[in-house]
Structure 1
């Protein structure tokens, strides 16, 4: 089924042009989290974060997967520059120099999501590999909520490992585990 996916890549400006699609995919993929009433998961706060990500000019890179012309999932991130705020809120530094960035060391995978009726078909992994497959950084990082067992299982199966915890500066942000993955990706097939 993943062979039928069409991947489209977007920079920040192009991503802002499909903002309604981004929000629609988020609302579908995160409907349960949105229904919980947690302010951090509200579509308004999510789209505020999206606007900040795409407005920063930091090398934003997004991939949207389409099946028969319908968007089924999306993922995005950016390389961490020397003045990145990504590591603010880190509980403890895993090793000396861990947070030193120069724009070529670490790619931050910020979001990956698949619409509810399309989950369980390998689309998230295909999106993951489409976004990270050609990256030139030496490592990638992402944040995952500690109780998100489904995501944890997927990430560890894809080679990610936990190194620390972090609470981002976004309003109402929960505590996250910091996961790391060496790049370049090793072929999975």
Structure 2
């Protein structure tokens, strides 16, 4: 097992691979939003967004994980349900201000090896946006703490759509 994954950009031929990795990562959870049927439309929504970016990590030929996201558009509803509600100056989006990291999935054999951090950092390293945001389950304290170690801070709590669990909206500055 290598600790430095080979990172490759997403192509449309990788859709099923991302679905397979997601299935494996969430196999042990009893979460109706984590099923393949629920995730596939979500994946399609993100891949169709302007500025979509995705990196897939490989250990030789073995896929180990992926991360993807896209810039928030001026019409985004990302900040709408965040409590406490950030001020308008914070939530104003231009289409080039904030990169939303939607997914970061790493298969079990590569967890705890720094692979997630390497995929994450490579995805956002050359982003032109001034900040990155993500949503993380409030109940996943270890994951929240990990993101805080990576420089993210909690902005507030949100339930972005019906059926979603409570999530923290977190941000990290990329550029000032």
The runs of 4+ residues in structure 1 deviating greater than 6 Å are none
CA shift for structure 1 position 58? 1.9
Q: Paired residues, what number?
A: 174
TM-score scaled by structure 1?
Answer: 0.86
Q: Secondary structure at the match of 2:165?
A: coil
- Match runs of 1:43-54 below 5 Å: 43-54=36-47
Report which stretch shifted further, 91-100 or 103-112. 91-100
- Match runs of 1:64-143 below 5 Å: 64-143=56-135
Deviations 1:19-50 (A, max 9, x none): 110011111111222xx1x2112121011111
Q: Secondary structure at the match of 2:16?
A: helix
22, 25, 34: which is aligned to 1:26? Answer: 22
2:8 alignment counterpart: 8
Aligned counterparts of 2:35 and 2:61: Cα–Cα separation in 1: 27
Aligned counterparts of 1:91 and 1:153: Cα–Cα separation in 2: 20
Aligned counterparts of 2:94 and 2:15: Cα–Cα separation in 1: 29
Query: What runs of 5+ residues in structure 1 fail to find an aligned partner?
Result: 185-189
CA shift for structure 1 position 168? 1.3
Query: What runs of 5+ residues in structure 2 fail to find an aligned partner?
Result: none
Aligned counterparts of 2:142 and 2:37: Cα–Cα separation in 1: 24
CA shift for structure 1 position 150? 2.4
TM-score scaled by structure 2?
Answer: 0.92
Root-mean-square deviation (CA), in Å?
1.4
